[in-house]
Amino acid sequence: MSHAMLLDCTLRDGAYLVEKEFGENNIYGIIDGLVKARVDCIEIGFLENGGGRKGKTVFKNSEDAKRVIPKDKQGILFCVLADYSRYSIELLDKHTDDGIDAVRECFFKKERYDAIKYCENIKNLGYKCFVQPVDILGYSDMELIDFIQKVNEIEPYCFSIVDTFGSMFQEDLHRIFEIINHNLVPTCKIGFHSHNNMQLSNALSQEFIRMAYGKREIIVDGTISGMGRGAGNTPTELVAQYMVSKLGYNYDMDAILDIIDEYMDNIKSRCSWGYSTSYFVAGCYSAHVNNVQYLTKKNSIKSKDIRYILNKIDPCQRKRYDYGLLEKTYVEYLKSDINDSEETKYLLKYTDEKDLLLMAPGNSINLEKEEINDYIADKRPVIINVNFIHDEIRPDFLYFSNIKRYKYWKKDERFDEYNKIIISNIKQNAESEKEHIIAFNKLVKCGWNNLDNSMILLLRLVDQLNVKSIAIAGLDGFNYENGDSTNYLSRDMEVSYIRDDFMNVNAEITAMLEDYKKNRKKKVKIEFITKSRFADIFL
């Protein structure tokens, strides 16, 4: 018997990225491809109380799951994952040969002893049972040994090493494997499920196969193209190729490549995953990827800031995600006690009873130059450029509250020529008389993911001044057509959002502008002089 088995969990772990809705044709196609590839185990999705519907990889029980399981399984093990806190084991029906073969029960450390009872029920119903403790690095050696002794009493099919936060190094894997292998009942396989936060998933999976040889039968998890939240998972194709090339396994690599060509490229148009510096930081601190995804949307954030904020949060709390706590920690990190009264007086005097033109870096700045120039010629406004330098229109001030834009434009040879309004989330001390630092904490308002949106912060600052009118150009809103769109006046400023991200940001900016309109102190006239999806708000 082969000592290693390959389990593909694309339809389960990858499902988080598509709200568990792959689409019926994709589900059947991926399963058919994996069967042709002769992988040993296919995880087809989740068990959940409400069950699912066609197109989703969510099932109420084995009978529900039969609709996607082929009549001829060809010796392949079909399994599902049940989350202890999200599935009532009473809903699970008895095993039949034409249904699910195995159930993988996952749970947090605090749930482990109660979850064992679920595992026993799963086995009693005739299924092969996988014990899947979330975040195995969160167990001390003694806790792990004690838990394994409880697991041995039910003799499950497999006990898995789950590197939930992609935090493992090779030494960690060796230590945990040896503890488990030494203490686990010999009839039980050991599994390995890894995340790629530190670009080590494939290497660790190969090392797991090598280190277990002659010691234990094992199961290695992977997903096609590494599909999974954040940095993703061990790519099935890489592990399969290693097992074919070095160990003589007979997986059909052409069938796996066909899955990638026929299904994964299309799925990638709807969502994204893969290594990034931010996910590396999440791995360093064993933090849930949702924490990083939330923080990376902030305009004022740097990778080292994410590292600092995660380090400020309790280790247990950062393994889950509490957006309220993150927001509080983020704002506290950025708040400053700077006294900006003199700078505010300066801006009051400079803009007193004058028309203002606030220019955001949207593509309409390029498309509607004539309208902008006509307005400038007619009104002679005070011009404030938001996070950019224009090649033709010279502003009175450059305004920066986005650290990435600030660092980009600071390298421009024209940067030092201009007066600048800089929010204190970027810097707290002026380096020249041309820099006017304004306190971040008096402009920010919590309650939104994009609470530090640059234009919103600037409008709140302007609300403290005594201006005659406000004109806005370049605040276009995000557009997304056929996966390719120009949203900024320069390609260098584009951001890599997917369609849903753009739609969510547009909706949130709309809500923030409406809140600003409702709560502003001075009801001066506001008009958009370039086309914008937000223009109707101020009509």
DSSP SS3 for 82:
strand
Q: Which tens digit of pLDDT belongs to each residue from 169-199? A: 999 999 999 999 999 999 999 999 999 988 9
Q: What integer is the mean pLDDT of 366-380?
A: 93
- Secondary structure (DSSP) of 86-129: T--GGGPPPP-TTS--EEEEEE-GGGHHHHHHHHHHHHHTT-EE
Weakest mean pLDDT among 50-59, 186-195, 277-286, 338-347? 277-286
Cα(first)–Cα(last) distance of the chain, in Å? 74
Residue 482: its pLDDT value, please? Answer: 46
**pLDDT of res. 299:** 58
Give 36-76 pLDDT, tens digit per residue.
999 999 999 999 998 878 899 999 999 999 999 999 999 99
Alpha helices in 298-415 (DSSP H): 303-312, 323-334, 341-351, 364-367, 369-379, 403-410
**pLDDT value at residue 196:** 93
- pLDDT tens-place string over residues 392-444: 999 999 999 988 889 889 988 999 999 999 998 888 888 899 999 998 878 87
Handedness of CA 221, 224, 227, 231 (dihedral sign): positive
Q: What is the pLDDT of residue 316?
A: 67
Range with the poorest average pLDDT among 6-20, 139-153, 270-284: 270-284
Q: Between 403 and 98, whose confidence is greater?
A: 98
534 close to 510: Cβ distance less than 8 angstroms? yes
* Per-residue pLDDT, 211: 95
pLDDT tens sequence across 468-502: 999 999 998 887 664 445 777 666 665 655 555 77
According to the model, what pLDDT value does residue 64 have? 95
Q: What is the pLDDT of residues 501-519, one digit of tens each?
A: 778 888 889 998 999 998 8
